Chains A and B, each alone.
Chain A
Amino acid sequence: KQEVTQIPAALSVPEGENLVLNCSFTDSAIYNLQWFRQDPGKGLTSLLLIQSSQREQTSGRLNASLDKSSGRSTLYIAASQPGDSATYLCAPMGGNKLVFGAGTILRVKS
Protein backbone atom coordinates (compact mmCIF):
# COMPACT_ATOMS: atom_id res chain seq x y z
CA LYS A 1 0.00 0.00 0.00
CA GLN A 2 1.41 3.36 -1.07
CA GLU A 3 2.18 5.79 1.74
CA VAL A 4 3.08 9.40 1.08
CA THR A 5 4.84 11.68 3.54
CA GLN A 6 5.28 15.41 3.13
CA ILE A 7 7.78 17.47 5.06
CA PRO A 8 7.50 20.02 6.54
CA ALA A 9 3.87 19.92 7.65
CA ALA A 10 3.83 23.71 7.81
CA LEU A 11 6.15 26.47 6.72
CA SER A 12 6.10 30.22 7.29
CA VAL A 13 8.56 32.38 5.35
CA PRO A 14 9.04 36.04 4.48
CA GLU A 15 8.25 37.15 0.98
CA GLY A 16 11.05 36.63 -1.53
CA GLU A 17 12.53 33.48 -0.06
CA ASN A 18 13.25 30.40 -2.13
CA LEU A 19 11.84 27.28 -0.56
CA VAL A 20 11.71 23.51 -0.95
CA LEU A 21 8.85 21.20 -0.14
CA ASN A 22 9.61 17.52 0.24
CA CYS A 23 7.57 14.44 -0.62
CA SER A 24 8.51 10.80 -0.10
CA PHE A 25 6.59 7.69 -1.12
CA THR A 26 7.05 4.04 -0.28
CA ASP A 27 6.14 2.30 -3.56
CA SER A 28 8.36 3.36 -6.46
CA ALA A 29 6.18 1.60 -9.06
CA ILE A 30 4.43 4.80 -10.06
CA TYR A 31 3.16 6.05 -13.39
CA ASN A 32 3.59 9.72 -12.62
CA LEU A 33 3.55 12.20 -9.75
CA GLN A 34 1.54 15.39 -9.44
CA TRP A 35 1.88 18.43 -7.26
CA PHE A 36 -1.30 20.31 -6.41
CA ARG A 37 -2.19 23.50 -4.66
CA GLN A 38 -5.30 23.82 -2.50
CA ASP A 39 -6.62 27.10 -1.15
CA PRO A 40 -8.78 26.98 2.01
CA GLY A 41 -12.23 25.58 1.27
CA LYS A 42 -11.44 25.14 -2.41
CA GLY A 43 -10.69 22.31 -4.81
CA LEU A 44 -7.31 21.33 -6.22
CA THR A 45 -5.23 23.17 -8.75
CA SER A 46 -2.71 21.03 -10.62
CA LEU A 47 0.72 22.65 -10.60
CA LEU A 48 3.05 20.15 -12.18
CA LEU A 49 2.91 16.57 -13.43
CA ILE A 50 6.11 14.55 -13.77
CA GLN A 51 6.04 11.33 -15.75
CA SER A 52 7.93 8.41 -14.22
CA SER A 53 10.52 8.61 -16.99
CA GLN A 54 11.21 12.30 -16.30
CA ARG A 55 13.51 13.84 -13.69
CA GLU A 56 11.94 17.27 -13.43
CA GLN A 57 9.32 19.71 -14.66
CA THR A 58 9.27 23.48 -14.55
CA SER A 59 6.48 26.01 -14.71
CA GLY A 60 7.31 29.64 -14.03
CA ARG A 61 8.71 29.94 -10.50
CA LEU A 62 7.96 26.29 -9.77
CA ASN A 63 10.28 23.37 -10.34
CA ALA A 64 9.52 19.81 -9.35
CA SER A 65 12.00 16.96 -9.37
CA LEU A 66 11.42 13.23 -9.16
CA ASP A 67 13.77 10.46 -8.05
CA LYS A 68 11.59 7.41 -8.50
CA SER A 69 14.14 4.87 -7.34
CA SER A 70 14.56 6.55 -3.95
CA GLY A 71 10.87 7.46 -3.67
CA ARG A 72 11.36 11.21 -3.44
CA SER A 73 10.07 14.34 -5.07
CA THR A 74 10.71 17.98 -4.26
CA LEU A 75 8.85 21.13 -5.19
CA TYR A 76 11.03 24.22 -5.42
CA ILE A 77 9.36 27.63 -5.28
CA ALA A 78 11.51 30.56 -6.25
CA ALA A 79 11.03 34.10 -4.99
CA SER A 80 7.96 33.26 -2.93
CA GLN A 81 5.01 35.69 -2.85
CA PRO A 82 2.08 36.10 -0.44
CA GLY A 83 -0.18 34.72 -3.17
CA ASP A 84 1.70 31.43 -2.92
CA SER A 85 0.17 30.87 0.53
CA ALA A 86 -1.83 27.62 0.31
CA THR A 87 -1.59 23.93 1.06
CA TYR A 88 0.62 21.98 -1.32
CA LEU A 89 -0.18 18.34 -1.95
CA CYS A 90 1.98 15.66 -3.51
CA ALA A 91 0.31 12.66 -5.15
CA PRO A 92 2.02 9.78 -6.90
CA MET A 93 -0.11 7.77 -9.31
CA GLY A 94 0.10 3.98 -9.26
CA GLY A 95 -2.20 2.13 -11.65
CA ASN A 96 -4.86 4.78 -12.15
CA LYS A 97 -5.08 5.91 -8.53
CA LEU A 98 -3.58 8.95 -6.88
CA VAL A 99 -2.46 8.69 -3.27
CA PHE A 100 -2.22 12.02 -1.48
CA GLY A 101 0.17 13.15 1.19
CA ALA A 102 -1.10 15.18 4.14
CA GLY A 103 0.24 18.34 2.55
CA THR A 104 2.49 21.24 3.48
CA ILE A 105 0.73 24.39 4.65
CA LEU A 106 2.69 27.35 3.31
CA ARG A 107 2.37 30.90 4.54
CA VAL A 108 4.33 33.63 2.84
CA LYS A 109 4.41 36.84 4.85
CA SER A 110 4.56 40.24 3.18
Chain B
Amino acid sequence: GAVVSQHPSWVICKSGTSVKIECRSLDFQATTMFWYRQFPKQSLMLMATSNEGSKATYEQGVEKDKFLINHASLTLSTLTVTSAHPEDSSFYICSATNVYEQYFGPGTRLTVT
Protein backbone atom coordinates (compact mmCIF):
# COMPACT_ATOMS: atom_id res chain seq x y z
CA GLY B 1 0.00 0.00 0.00
CA ALA B 2 0.92 3.65 -0.32
CA VAL B 3 3.19 5.05 2.38
CA VAL B 4 3.14 8.56 3.82
CA SER B 5 5.79 9.75 6.25
CA GLN B 6 5.94 12.73 8.58
CA HIS B 7 8.89 14.40 10.19
CA PRO B 8 9.41 15.01 13.00
CA SER B 9 7.28 12.54 14.92
CA TRP B 10 7.32 14.79 17.94
CA VAL B 11 8.63 18.27 18.70
CA ILE B 12 8.77 20.55 21.73
CA CYS B 13 9.25 24.25 21.16
CA LYS B 14 9.12 27.47 23.13
CA SER B 15 6.24 29.88 22.81
CA GLY B 16 6.81 32.40 20.03
CA THR B 17 9.00 30.21 17.86
CA SER B 18 8.06 28.58 14.55
CA VAL B 19 7.96 24.88 13.79
CA LYS B 20 7.99 23.14 10.41
CA ILE B 21 6.43 19.71 9.85
CA GLU B 22 7.10 17.72 6.68
CA CYS B 23 4.75 15.28 4.98
CA ARG B 24 6.05 13.02 2.23
CA SER B 25 4.39 10.47 -0.03
CA LEU B 26 7.10 7.86 -0.42
CA ASP B 27 5.91 5.67 -3.25
CA PHE B 28 3.36 7.69 -5.20
CA GLN B 29 2.82 11.19 -6.48
CA ALA B 30 0.18 13.14 -4.61
CA THR B 31 -1.34 16.13 -6.31
CA THR B 32 -3.35 16.79 -3.17
CA MET B 33 -2.36 16.56 0.46
CA PHE B 34 -4.42 17.34 3.54
CA TRP B 35 -3.48 18.60 7.00
CA TYR B 36 -5.51 17.65 10.05
CA ARG B 37 -5.30 18.59 13.71
CA GLN B 38 -6.42 16.39 16.59
CA PHE B 39 -6.80 17.62 20.15
CA PRO B 40 -6.80 15.10 23.02
CA LYS B 41 -9.86 12.87 23.11
CA GLN B 42 -11.25 14.54 19.99
CA SER B 43 -11.52 13.50 16.37
CA LEU B 44 -9.54 14.77 13.41
CA MET B 45 -10.41 18.19 12.09
CA LEU B 46 -9.38 19.19 8.58
CA MET B 47 -7.23 22.31 8.58
CA ALA B 48 -6.40 22.77 4.93
CA THR B 49 -6.17 21.16 1.52
CA SER B 50 -2.84 21.51 -0.22
CA ASN B 51 -2.47 21.25 -3.99
CA GLU B 52 0.91 20.98 -5.66
CA GLY B 53 2.01 24.26 -7.15
CA SER B 54 -0.89 26.33 -5.87
CA LYS B 55 -2.03 28.02 -2.69
CA ALA B 56 -3.60 25.91 0.02
CA THR B 57 -7.30 26.09 0.76
CA TYR B 58 -7.98 26.61 4.45
CA GLU B 59 -11.04 25.48 6.36
CA GLN B 60 -13.17 28.05 8.11
CA GLY B 61 -11.62 29.23 11.35
CA VAL B 62 -8.05 28.21 10.46
CA GLU B 63 -5.64 31.14 10.33
CA LYS B 64 -3.72 30.98 7.07
CA ASP B 65 -1.06 33.38 8.32
CA LYS B 66 -0.40 31.22 11.34
CA PHE B 67 -0.40 27.85 9.63
CA LEU B 68 1.68 28.21 6.48
CA ILE B 69 1.39 25.37 4.00
CA ASN B 70 3.70 24.79 1.08
CA HIS B 71 3.25 22.00 -1.46
CA ALA B 72 6.35 22.45 -3.57
CA SER B 73 6.46 19.03 -5.21
CA LEU B 74 4.24 16.03 -5.87
CA THR B 75 5.75 14.20 -2.90
CA LEU B 76 6.26 16.89 -0.28
CA SER B 77 4.03 19.26 1.66
CA THR B 78 5.10 21.28 4.69
CA LEU B 79 3.13 22.87 7.49
CA THR B 80 4.80 25.69 9.42
CA VAL B 81 3.23 26.77 12.69
CA THR B 82 4.37 30.36 13.10
CA SER B 83 4.72 32.11 16.47
CA ALA B 84 3.50 29.00 18.23
CA HIS B 85 1.56 29.29 21.48
CA PRO B 86 0.61 26.64 24.03
CA GLU B 87 -2.90 26.41 22.56
CA ASP B 88 -1.31 25.19 19.30
CA SER B 89 -0.13 22.07 21.10
CA SER B 90 -1.80 19.22 19.30
CA PHE B 91 -1.36 16.14 17.14
CA TYR B 92 -0.94 17.12 13.49
CA ILE B 93 -1.61 14.48 10.84
CA CYS B 94 -1.19 14.74 7.09
CA SER B 95 -2.66 12.62 4.34
CA ALA B 96 -1.98 12.26 0.64
CA THR B 97 -4.44 11.16 -1.98
CA ASN B 98 -4.20 9.25 -5.21
CA VAL B 99 -7.73 10.46 -5.99
CA TYR B 100 -9.60 7.38 -4.77
CA GLU B 101 -8.23 7.03 -1.26
CA GLN B 102 -6.39 9.05 1.35
CA TYR B 103 -3.27 7.62 2.95
CA PHE B 104 -2.31 8.98 6.34
CA GLY B 105 1.02 9.79 7.89
CA PRO B 106 1.90 8.68 11.43
CA GLY B 107 1.34 12.15 12.89
CA THR B 108 3.47 14.77 14.63
CA ARG B 109 2.98 15.59 18.30
CA LEU B 110 3.64 19.31 18.89
CA THR B 111 4.06 20.62 22.42
CA VAL B 112 4.53 24.36 22.91
CA THR B 113 5.90 25.38 26.30
Whether A and B are associated in the same complex: the answer reads yes
Q: Which residues of A pack against B, CB within 8 Å? A: 32, 34, 36, 41-44, 46, 49, 89, 93, 96-103
Give the distance in Å from the alpha carbon of A69 to the alpha carbon of B84 in the complex. 44
Q: Which residues of B pack against A, CB within 8 Å? A: 1, 6, 32, 34, 42-46, 49, 91, 93, 95, 97, 99-107, 109
B43, B99, B103, B104: the one contacting A102 at CB < 8 Å is: B43
Main secondary structure of the interface of B (DSSP, over half): strand
Report the number of A-B residue pairs with Cβ-Cβ less than 8 Å. Answer: 45
Which chain B residue has the least Cβ–Cβ distance from A45?
A: B104
Contact A97 B44 (CB under 8 A): no
Q: Which 6 A-B pairs have the closest CB atoms?
A: A43-B106, A44-B104, A43-B107, A100-B43, A100-B44, A102-B43
Contact B103 A96 (CB under 8 A): no
